[in-house]
Structure 1
Amino acid sequence: MRLLLIGGGGREHALAWKLAQSPQVETIYAAPGNPGIALLDKCECIDLPLQELEKLADYAEANCIDLTVVGPEASLVEGIADVFKARGLALFGPSKAAAELEGSKAFSKQLMEKYGIPTAFFKVCEDIETAKAYIKEKGAPIVVKADGLAAGKGVVVAMTEAEAFAAVDDMMGDLKFGGAGARVVLEEFMEGEEASLLAFTDGDTIVSMIAAQDHKRINDNDEGPNTGGMGTYAPAPVMTDILRLKAVEKVLKPTIAAMKAEGRPYQGCLYAGLMINGDDIKVVEFNCRFGDPETQVIMPLLDGDLAEIMLCCATGTLAQADIGWYDKAAVCVVMASGGYPGSYKQGLPISGLEETAAREDVVVFHAGTKCADGQIVTAGGRVLGVTAVGKNIREAKDKAYEAAGKISFADAHYRKDIAWRALKK
């Protein structure tokens, strides 16, 4: 098989790493890829215009690509799957209509309400006056969400009415997130512990993955501003086997059935962010693709041929796929640039990568790096995802931190308490 992989972050590096292990895979062309992907066997990084979907399909046709795997949500929401399908090209990922599950918070919430899928109470607001009136009615804490894609930054958990008003002004008045915030969703603040449950689906069959838990805030003890994710681990103890089965039956299966009933059959990876409070499960959000950095701990635990699984999803034959999970644990520690998620320097040389690459059960996934004069340097806020596998969470955590300690670049910052919830349990 010849694969085209769209994207160039830590998620895509983790997918490429797993895909390259398939005996069926001959070559993976990553657009644009990153220096970590470039070092993998079978992988080649290429420069393609990612916004020009027809040109991507042209490349797939001209290079006899057997399967295209899409990492970023923006490409899916813009309809890359539809363009490829019209050409008879296999692609792992939902159609434009199905990707609206992530592309519009309003659509997602209204779908859940219609089909009885458990979620928080909410109101879709088209103007500032309506939004502020609802905030006054419900009070705080309350969650303010930009309706469209905002690179993971369009959510404000407002602990006071003043914070909620300010968030509405930022999103709807100042258009902080462009058109994504022209409409907002106001949502109940949910108590509990959040976990991520991803699943493979071909539109009919659905197979859940191992549950993971992310750490969003920049500093230890869950302090400081929200980020794209400072680390993660799997399996997440909060998602017991019983709760995972409940989530499959009450959330994942009904959602796939609802999308099919709406004429938007969903194929690819369905990501459910779930709030768990005792035995109660509610949906926080859906994403139409693999999570980042959840993918970095899920892929090392997958006992199966990822290329074959993805092709089965794309061709409606997932029931035939062989999918299992290793009885181990994985922890990912994200090394970020100093100043992230605010302003930060780029182009800083990174040392220790070769030594770390030689370690058993450790993989360093590149998230924000580039090559400059033969040296790998920083090129983003989240730079590396240092991931380790162990027989349990504690062993995996110790390995990950030992490896992270061998890597350095100026002003590097990473949390020292990843997986604290799991260890507390």
Structure 2
Amino acid sequence: MRDFIREIDERKALGLYRTRRVVSGPQQPRMTADGETVLAFCSNDYLGLANHPALIEAAKSGLETNGLGGASSHLICGHHQAHHQLEERLAAFTGRTGALFFSTGYMANMGVISAMAGRGDTIFSDALNHASIIDGCKLSRATIRTYPHGDTDTLANQLAETGGHKLVVTDGVFSMDGDIAPLRELARLCKQHDALLVVDDAHGFGCVGPQGRGSVFAEGLTEDEVPLVIGTFGKAFGSSGAFVVGPAPLMDYLVQKARTYIYTTAMPPALAMASHASIDLVEHEDPRRQHLQRLIERFRSAMKDLGYSLLPSSTAIQPVMVGDAKAALRLSADLEKRGLLVTAIRPPTVPRGTSRLRVTLSASHTEADLDRLIEAFAACAPVTRSDVQPAIVTPH
């Protein structure tokens, strides 16, 4: 017990201690956290759909007709008609021939990656991939080769010198940096070296690409070029659950092999119905995406004028680089004193020396909300370092 307590004390001393806030009420920009009303810029509800009346009504209808619990795994008696219809809708929305619905994004990444590679195989993983990808790679027991973030030259050399079954896995939009992977070049390299490409586009779906169909669709990449694309409903779609889309034979293979799909209770059918409704909303919400893009451009311009250091992100994820973990906590606390909730992100979530405030903008933020955020940053002395760059070591 003493060793665990000592480690907690060390985290506190280094500014790495994590706490939970108690939030009440719906997810929206103005929320109650720890009993205080705040204007939040840290949610992944990028399109502001988490509290949309159409999704609430779909969930209510699902509860009335299908009850609450999923009650069983998909392979026993838990695969409800609502799940099946959602998968068909997902395949059509993403331009793929098949889809599989998972309970969470973490489970989707772990299940897909560990099913598609195993002992004797090699997985190539971007250094800044999400923790769920990293854990999926470890669970597979394959050889893992990490390439520097976005460095396709290094990846090309790694692929050329490696034989056997090869899997390349990357985020589409990186969750802490907000940049987009070089997907077209990755697809080209995978075709050249006979590797299977898997893209986790959790932060791209809804916001990126025509009708919010994601970063892979935005690049015009086909199912042959990017066989497997993973997404989540818990972010821009505003609901819950996750999915993988791709060729129907691979979906069937995952039903046989993905342990996080096989050995878990199915999500409640009512949530699947709400997610189905959310696809319809996302598909027709160009005005929300346009408003979000205007907020992003205004924020970046203003913050540069104020002397803050930003990463080259065109997405709703806008990291304000600080460097030191304690300094990031101080800046976050200064903003909170002004009624703004902006989370400080520190190691091990990001590499040491790259602590930041992760500002996430939403289509539900108003121009006045953004004005208030910019004014608050202006009132705080810039504590960022212009030399802080995205690290090339593996986080988490």
Normalised to the residue count of structure 2, the TM-score between the two structures is 0.34
**Structure of higher RCO (CA pairs closer than 8 Å, 6+ residues apart):** 2
Normalised to the residue count of structure 1, the TM-score between the two structures is 0.32
> More helix per residue: 1 or 2?
2
